[in-house]
Each structure stands twice: as structure tokens, then as C-alpha cells.
Amino acid sequence: MPNGNHEKRRDAIRQLLLKGPAETQAWLVATLAADGHNATQSSVSRDLRELGAIKTARGYELPADNQAGDEQVAAVAGLLRTMQAAGPNLLVVKTAIGAAQRVALAFDRCNWPEVVGNIGGDDTVFVATESSIAQKNLITRIEHSARS
């Protein structure tokens, strides 16, 4: 569980990202240090992951507020087993036996821009994305929502 310093640093990162994208992790480290926070590249990387930040062409950003999407994935989080990239535009999500169609429906209802479409079988969902960056962002979103 994060201690007070970690929580303060994460809150500072959240506030910075609310103002606009952070071009690099190095910029975040320097900005946090200037504000009196103890930060390294690895701690900032962990914090960004915990915050659910995504990397876009403009830099690191918080995803658009999509509480409904987060709730959809949180509702099926217990059914998720593994995720694995299969090339730059396909994510393979393994689920509990018989749960793939329910998980695929949750992904459909999220309306996340990273999801172009998906197909749910018995225990596997194939999720198509438009790019490798969208794929990585989707993985981050799913991981973040499943922890919520």
C-alpha cells in the first residue's frame, strides 16, 4: 500500500496531467523535484501506471473520464485471466470458461476509442485496435479498471 509520500507524488502527477499532457517521464521527474517531491523515472512510471495514464502522440495523459467504461470492466474483472498482444493490432484476452461473450459485451459497452471491435468465444476474446499505441493504452485501461 502506498505511503503518504507516494500518495502525495501521485496526486501531484494527477494535477500536472489535468493541466495538460506531460511530454516525457523525465519532464515529470524534473517538475516533481522542483516542487519538492522525491521522484525517479521508475517511481514516476509506476505512478503513471497506477493512475491509468496513457501515452499519446502529445505525451502522457489521463484518459478521458469514462466512469461507465471503467464500471463495465470492473464488473467482469473477476472473469479476466490473462491478456497478451498478438501483433500490433490484436489483443487476446483469456477469461474464465464460458465468460468470453460477457467480457466482450463489457468491452463493447465501454465505448473506449482504442477498441475497434471484438469477438468473444468461450474463454477467449479477440480485441482489434487501430494501432500498437492504442493496444498498449487499452491494456493500461483494462488493468486500471480491473483494479478499481
Cell 496531467 -> residue: 17
CATH code for the domain defined by 67-147: 3.30.1360.40
- Per the confidence metrics, is the pTM higher than 0.75? no
Residue 3's pLDDT is 61
Domain residue spans in the chain?
Answer: 4-61, 67-147
Q: Which helix (H) or strand (E) holds 119?
A: strand 117-120
Determine phi and psi for 73, rounding to 5 degrees: -70, -40
CA distance 110 to 115: 9
Residue 23's pLDDT is 94
Residue 29's pLDDT is 96
- Side-chain-facing half-sphere of 72: CA atoms under 13 Å: 17
CA distance 74 to 129: 20
Q: Please give the biggest Cα pair distance in the chain.
A: 52
CA distance 41 to 141: 21
Cell 509506476 -> residue: 46
Residue 91's nearest CA partner among 119, 62, 126 is: 126
Cell 511530454 -> residue: 23
4-61 CATH choice from 2.140.10.10, 1.10.10.10, 1.20.1280.260, 3.40.50.10470: 1.10.10.10
Please, what are the averages of pLDDT over each run of 10 residues along the chain (148 residues)?
A: 75 92 95 94 91 84 72 92 96 97 92 92 96 92 86
